[in-house]
Amino acid sequence: MIVHVVLFRPKPTLTADEREALVAALGHAIVGIPSIRRARIGRRIRLNRPGYETAMVEHYEYSAILEFDSEPDLRAYLEHPSHVELGRRLFASADGVLAYDFEYVDPDRLSAGG
């Protein structure tokens, strides 16, 4: 499984219309791109744990975690016109964005030595 992880922080000056357009683009991409196996969108919670949250140099308010069956499925998502529009809106709306892709394995497939 391939997991696409996006962390982002909206600009504080984002208008309600801009925020609504970003949410609409996100919803359109999630519903309209068939290669997405599963999507989760969330807002960060803080637990006020010393040394845990304070160790983070930057703070990102939201995350989007999308799962794909294969790398070609992720590539199809990234090249889809709905994702192109989402990316345009996200980068115009955010103070900070991080995006990473990971190949995940089931924990029972991991060896004891790593």
Map residue 69 onto helix, strand or coil.
Answer: coil
112 falls within a domain: no
Domain count, the chain: 1
pLDDT in tens, 37-73: 999 999 999 888 877 777 788 899 999 999 999 999 9
DSSP 97: E
96 falls within a domain: yes
Q: What are phi and psi of 98, to 5 degrees?
A: -125, 140
Q: What is the pTM of this model?
A: 0.85
What's the pLDDT score for residue 56?
Answer: 80
Exposed (0-12), middle (13-18) or buried (19+): which is 21, by Cβ within 10 Å?
middle
97 falls within a domain: yes
